[in-house]
């Protein structure tokens, strides 16, 4: 009998600071995606239906309507909230009456947008890298902001990539106020 071993490795991240990553299990409410046509995805949420329609080479228009409408078509009718693609915009998630939008085409320079669907006002626009992290409560999310350095930070490896560091901020999505979480990680930029 021969036994084999398989080693799985993951990138190591240096976290500096004392604030624990605790809180919600997911930064967004659960949605169920349903592809209704080529280039169109319908996301079913408890309160809303979000229809994402790809436009141009990058980005999507978003059509948001009450869940009871059961409409998954990518056409707007009176009462729908429509977000037109401005610069590679994509559906990121929904939490309650808040719509989260991801903007960007590369891993290093992305924009996080939050829209209140009840008031139809944009509440937040903030640069970020990586993934959005669940916050300590339903109105807080964690956002990593990326910075480029001239040399690697202490404790970070030197590579062929441009050295950087990411800093974690807790973002109150109601007010748009971001507080430094006293956590950083090593990063590399393209």
Burial of 149 (0-12, 13-18, 19+ CB in 10 A): middle
* Residue 172 pLDDT: 93
* Residue 19 pLDDT: 35
What pTM value is reported for the model? 0.82
Burial per residue of 9-48, b for 16 or more beta-carbon CB atoms within 10 angstroms, e otherwise: eeeeeeeeeeeeeebbeebbbebeeeeeeeebbbbebeeb
* Residue 57 pLDDT: 85
**If one looks up domain 32-189 in CATH, what number appears?**
2.40.128
* Residue 145 pLDDT: 95
What's the half-sphere exposure (Cβ side, CA atoms, 13 Å) at 37? 9
DSSP state, 157? P
Q: Give the pLDDT confidence of 117-161 residue by residue, as tens digits.
A: 999 999 999 999 999 999 988 889 999 999 999 999 999 999 999
Q: Give the pLDDT confidence of 13-69 residue by residue, as tens digits.
A: 333 333 333 446 789 999 999 988 899 999 999 999 999 999 978 999 999 999 999
Least confident of 101-105, 107-111, 170-174: 107-111
Q: Which two tokens stand for residue 113?
A: 């947008």
More confident residue, 174 or 163: 163
> What are the domain boundaries of the chain?
32-189
Strand-pair partners of 73:
none
Q: Are 165 and 155 in contact (CB under 8 A)?
A: no
Q: Percentage of the chain surpassing pLDDT 70? A: 87
Q: Are 83 and 77 in contact (CB under 8 A)?
A: no
């Amino acid at each position: 009998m021969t036994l084999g071993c398989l080693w799985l490795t993951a990138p190591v991240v240096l976290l500096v600071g004392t604030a624990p990553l605790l809180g919600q299990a997911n930064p967004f409410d659960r949605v169920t995606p349903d592809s209704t046509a080529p280039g169109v995805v319908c996301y079913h949420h408890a309160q809303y239906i979000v229809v994402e329609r790809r436009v141009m080479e990058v980005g999507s228009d978003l059509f948001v309507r009450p869940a009871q409408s059961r409409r998954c078509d990518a056409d707007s009718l009176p009462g729908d909230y429509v977000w037109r693609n401005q610069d590679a915009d994509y559906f990121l998630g929904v939490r309650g009456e808040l719509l989260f939008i991801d903007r960007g085409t590369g891993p290093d320079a992305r924009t996080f947008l939050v829209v209140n669907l009840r008031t139809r006002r944009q509440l937040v626009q903030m640069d970020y890298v990586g993934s959005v992290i669940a916050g300590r409560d339903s109105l807080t999310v964690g956002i990593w902001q990326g910075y480029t350095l001239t040399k690697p930070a202490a404790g970070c490896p030197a590579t062929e990539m441009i050295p950087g560091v990411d800093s974690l901020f807790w973002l109150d999505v109601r007010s748009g106020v971001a507080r430094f979480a006293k956590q950083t990680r090593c990063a590399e930029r393209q």
